[in-house]
Chains A and B, each alone.
Chain A
Amino acid sequence: MTASVETNGDFKENLGFRQKLGRFFNVLLLICTLVGLVVLTVLLVDVALEGGSWIRLQLFTNYHSRFPEKAGMKSGIVGSLILIGLTGLFSFPIGVGAAIYLEEYAPKNWLTNFINININNLSGVPSIVYGMLGLTVFGRMFGLFEPDSWLVKVFNIPVTTGMQGGWQFDLFGIPGLAIQLPFGRSLVAGAMTMTLLILPVVIIASREAIRAVPPSIREAAYGLGATRWQTVSTQVLPVAVPGILTGMILALSRAVGETAPLLIMGAFTYVPFLPESVWDQFTTMPIQIYNWITLPQEDYRIHLAAAGIIVLLAVLLSLNTIAVYLRNKFQVKW
């Protein structure tokens, strides 16, 4: 293998060393690949061993309890599901709309560049910062609806004090459309904070999906007398949707695992009821797991927490599976 076909005076082939170096890097790169995988496997095995036998019906049907055998995370599971549902509802139209604007409409100037750079920066901002933002903007609304704020005084708004304080009113008098300002510790406040958190990721992923649509398709549509919106809505978006949905779901799976911003928002660790409306308080799976880990008893700290992690991972994995399925099923093959 290292023998040369013929030796040639001016070339010092040194084949043996070159091939050895090649093999060395082959092995080194393989090790780099395996490090992450091995650690993850160890973690998964450990979690499965500690929590596997604690995956029982109670985990899904019971609330947190003083007795570890009876404790469950029903409110966390339901809270997480509603939260990502709402987050998806808020972030999909805004994120995709922004992506369409930036890709198809925005002029190429310094302002667009500035926005681009900052969207990329925002995707790297620590989630706890979004928690602070969410608390101030959505949770408290700058204290505008406290009894002594200028807004309340000027407009004579009928605010109440206490836990659910602020201004409650029925939009158009329909009870289902009841709105509470500020949003406080509600699911709406949490979902809006999560929306801010994942918007940069949604926008970036959607833009990539839109950019991947060949320009020739746009030219064809314009050439037939389509307006810009007709081109975007009938040709570009249908082709981009699988990619957009994939990015959307991956962003949501990031939101499912977030704990810090919700803790800052004031999500409770012990919620022994299910939310009846989006204005209710809530807890989520990661918060429930966090709560269990802080308790002294081993059954909570190790076994229940591990069982919770398994459920959380299962939800994440199914979200990612849906993403892969959507991409493979609806992707246009050129």
Chain B
Amino acid sequence: MSADQNSNNHDIVFTTKQLSVYYGRQLAIRDIDLSIQRHKITAIIGPSGCGKSTLLRSFNRMNELIPTARVEGQVYYNEKNIYAEGIDPVSIRRHIGMVFQKPNPFPKSIYDNVAFGARINKYQGDMDELVERSLRQAALWDEVKDKLKDSGLALSGGQQQRLCIARALATEPDVILMDEPASALDPIATLRIEELMEELKRNYTIIVVTHNMQQASRVSDMTAFLSIDRNDLEARIGILVEYGATQRMFIKPEMQETEDYITGRFG
């Protein structure tokens, strides 16, 4: 898998080393070693329950919100271990934005939704300008510019998800984590999100978890295939099976298991 990876350290945003996550005594993912490249879209694919979301949530320490969760190993963000002692997860999450499976705008106005992250992080600049810029980046500005005071909940599902993307962009993050961002949307709204991801990767690094293999092959540059460890099916432990450039992975995977999954023989 190293053949596909760019060895220039400057182009690596995240590196995980021996990353394992437990929920209580249950091991969810084990010994994940992965490097995420800057300004690329990395897709995480794999069957249900293999720990895709758990891996994604390790990048901004969201797993810690679950009381029993425990993380072992390291995650280096710009060569700094975010699990090192004294690192505050609150500061990490501003730099590493997140978009969730189900659109979850706050029950507030569109403007306040976008401004929230900036306000709590004491943004000093022009708030109106930031809101407009974020909404433009999320390709939502033209649809909402006349109703910024309306509730975010009044928008359609696809618009809500783009609002959530705009909200994440407003804290001026470096990386955007997306957890199946289009799975609750119709095909047209899905297409718009995918186009948006293409746009965003010029300025941001995107890591996206997806169930949809076509989506992974359409939008991503790199693909990580997670699956359940076959040596111990009972324990349901997620491991990284294969990681590489999406084109190669989908045409000529190295592992038989990857090929089986991509061609729909299981999962």
Instruction: Enumerate chain A interface residues (CB-CB to B < 8 A).
Output: 107-108, 214, 216-227, 230, 234-235, 239, 332-334
Q: Closest 5 interchain pairs by CB?
A: A225-B94, A224-B117, A223-B98, A216-B104, A225-B93
| Distance (whole angstroms) from the CB of B101 to the closest CB of chain A | 9
Residue A223 contacts which of B67, B91, B102, B168 (CB distance < 8 angstroms)? B168
Docked pose: A332 CA to B153 CA in angstroms: 10
Interface residues on B, range: 20 to 34
Contacting pair B107 A334 (CB below 8 A): yes
B200: CB under 8 A from chain A?
no
B74: CB under 8 A from chain A?
no
Instruction: Name the residue of chain A whose CB is nearest to the CB of B170.
Output: A224
Asked if A220 meets B100 with Cβ closer than 8 Å, knowing A107-B67, A226-B120, the reply is: yes
Contacting pair A216 B93 (CB below 8 A): no
- 9 residue pairs from A and B, CB less than 8 Å apart: A214-B104, A220-B100, A220-B105, A222-B62, A223-B62, A234-B116, A239-B107, A332-B153, A333-B153
Asked if A226 meets B100 with Cβ closer than 8 Å, knowing A220-B106, A234-B120, A334-B153, the reply is: no
Which residues of chain B are within 8 angstroms of A108 by Cβ–Cβ distance? 67
Docked pose: A218 CA to B64 CA in angstroms: 13
Contacting pair B107 A224 (CB below 8 A): no
Starting from the known contacts A216-B104, A223-B98, 20 additional A-B residue pairs (CB-CB under 8 Å) come to A107-B67, A214-B104, A220-B105, A220-B106, A221-B120, A222-B93, A223-B62, A223-B97, A223-B100, A223-B168, A224-B94, A224-B97, A224-B171, A225-B93, A225-B117, A225-B120, A225-B121, A227-B120, A234-B116, A333-B153
Asked if A224 meets B153 with Cβ closer than 8 Å, knowing A214-B104, A334-B107, the reply is: no
Contacting pair A223 B120 (CB below 8 A): no
| Distance (whole angstroms) from the CB of B90 to the closest CB of chain A | 5
Docked pose: A68 CA to B164 CA in angstroms: 68
Contacting pair B120 A216 (CB below 8 A): no
B167: CB under 8 A from chain A?
yes
Docked pose: A219 CA to B121 CA in angstroms: 16
Docked pose: A222 CA to B153 CA in angstroms: 19
Residue A224 contacts which of B67, B102, B168 (CB distance < 8 angstroms)? B168
Docked pose: A66 CA to B93 CA in angstroms: 73
Which residues of chain B are within 8 angstroms of A219 by Cβ–Cβ distance? 62, 65, 98, 100, 104
Docked pose: A185 CA to B171 CA in angstroms: 57
Docked pose: A222 CA to B167 CA in angstroms: 12
Which residues of B25-70 have CB atoms within 8 Å of chain A's CB atoms? 60, 62, 65, 67
Instruction: Name the residue of chain B whose CB is nearest to the CB of A223.
Output: B98
Docked pose: A222 CA to B120 CA in angstroms: 11
Instruction: Name the residue of chain B whose CB is nearest to the CB of A218.
Output: B65
A-B contact count (CB 8 A): 69
Docked pose: A226 CA to B117 CA in angstroms: 7
Docked pose: A221 CA to B171 CA in angstroms: 12
Contacting pair A223 B60 (CB below 8 A): yes
Docked pose: A226 CA to B105 CA in angstroms: 15
Instruction: Name the residue of chain B whose CB is nearest to the CB of A334.
Output: B153
Which residues of chain A are within 8 angstroms of B164 by Cβ–Cβ distance? 220
Contacting pair A224 B120 (CB below 8 A): yes
Which residues of chain A are within 8 angstroms of B107 by Cβ–Cβ distance? 217, 239, 332, 334
Contacting pair B91 A225 (CB below 8 A): yes
* Residue of A107, A224, A234 with highest tally of chain B CB at under 10 A: A224
Contacting pair A224 B100 (CB below 8 A): no
Docked pose: A140 CA to B91 CA in angstroms: 52
Instruction: Name the residue of chain B whose CB is nearest to the CB of A228.
Output: B90
Instruction: Name the residue of chain A whose CB is nearest to the CB of B102.
Output: A216
| Distance (whole angstroms) from the CB of B194 to the closest CB of chain A | 21
| Distance (whole angstroms) from the CB of B96 to the closest CB of chain A | 9
Docked pose: A116 CA to B60 CA in angstroms: 32
Contacting pair B104 A224 (CB below 8 A): no
Docked pose: A217 CA to B113 CA in angstroms: 11
Which residues of B116-155 have CB atoms within 8 Å of chain A's CB atoms? 116-117, 120-121, 153
Interface 1/0s, chain B 164-178, versus A by CB < 8 A?
Answer: 100110010000000
| Distance (whole angstroms) from the CB of B240 to the closest CB of chain A | 24
Instruction: Name the residue of chain A whose CB is nearest to the CB of B164.
Output: A220
| Distance (whole angstroms) from the CB of A225 to the closest CB of chain B | 3
Docked pose: A107 CA to B67 CA in angstroms: 8
Asked if A217 meets B104 with Cβ closer than 8 Å, knowing A223-B98, A226-B90, the reply is: yes
Which residues of chain A are within 8 angstroms of B60 by Cβ–Cβ distance? 223
Asked if A221 meets B116 with Cβ closer than 8 Å, knowing A226-B90, A227-B90, A333-B153, the reply is: yes
* Residue of B60, B90, B106 with highest tally of chain A CB at under 10 A: B106
Asked if A220 meets B93 with Cβ closer than 8 Å, knowing A225-B120, A225-B121, A230-B120, the reply is: no
Residue B167 contacts which of A217, A218, A224, A235 (CB distance < 8 angstroms)? A224
Which residues of chain B are within 8 angstroms of A224 by Cβ–Cβ distance? 93-94, 97, 116-117, 120-121, 167-168, 171
